[in-house]
Amino acid sequence: MFFLKNMERRVTLHPSYFGRNMHDLVTSKLLKDVEGTCAGSYYIISIMDTFDISEGKILPSNGLAEFTVGYRAVVWRPFKGETVDAVVYSINPQGFFAQAGPLRLFVSAHLIPSDTKWDPNATPPQFTNNEDTVIEPSTHVRVKIIGTRTEVGEMWAIGSIKEDYLGQSGSTESTDPWRGLSSADTIKIEEQYRDNAEAMETMDGLYKAQAYKLVRFYD
């Protein structure tokens, strides 16, 4: 769910930037440092404006100028029970990983409908019911969040498609500008290692380990 939130942050400037346009530089640095980051239980999507920039204070230890900036931002906080659209970027017999904007989700095989089975012989390997459902990398899916977990600088979620109106969606393009970037980066990494069996085995082991940690956390 999206919210408009008033926030505050300390921003420092190097002495070489001291001048008439310091407030503009402070705002630019705030945008660069804050937008797109995870702040614990929510993501800072976009800074709308700044409403208060304090007078600069010189730090005696290094000579930097420190400003306290009050700003208004659009934040997204995923909630348990929320339904999101995501793109699958990795899949294995234990389930699949998907990206919903900046949020990474794992959907366990136990939270996939019982008629949708893992098919390792398909190209690429996929979950399918041999009819109208095929879940493979780049598939658009609708997922219900059943729990979230915060780590340093990022958030993970456990999702389910084992309910009506969930699972593979008919969308062919994303309206979320974050999603394409994150998914493309992930797919590019996997393509680089596709021909390297040893590397792929290592990656698969990491995915399984992460999936095991997530499932154990929410059990």
Contacts of 93 (CB under 8 A, 6+ apart): 109, 118, 120
Residue 58 lies in a domain: yes
Q: Which pLDDT tens digit goes with each residue over 149-170? A: 988 788 899 999 999 999 998 7
Q: What average pLDDT does the segment 80-98 reach? A: 95
pLDDT(90) > 80: yes
Backbone angles phi, psi at 191, to 5 degrees: -65, -35
* 61 and 105 within one domain: no
Considering the domain architecture, whether residues 72 and 86 belong to the same structural domain is answered as no
- Structural domains in the chain (count): 3
Residue 150: predicted pLDDT: 86
- Residue 36 lies in domain: 2-76
Angle CA 179–49–20, to nearest 5? 120
In the chain, the percentage of residues whose pLDDT exceeds 90 is 58
Which of residues 13, 41, 76 is at a domain's end? 76
Does residue 202 have a pLDDT over 70?
no
Res. 144: pLDDT tops 90 = yes
Give the mean model confidence (pLDDT) for residues 94-118: 94
According to the model, what pLDDT value does residue 171 have?
A: 52
Q: What is the tens place of the pLDDT at every residue in 3-21?
A: 999 999 999 999 988 988 8
CA 78, 160, 148, 94 dihedral sign is negative
Q: What is the pLDDT of residue 205?
A: 52
Distance of alpha carbon 72 from alpha carbon 50, whole angstroms: 6
Is 159 found in the same domain as 89? yes
Give CA separation, 174 vs 30, 46, 96, 178, 192, in Å.
28, 18, 19, 9, 24
Omega prior to 124 cis, within 30 of 0: yes
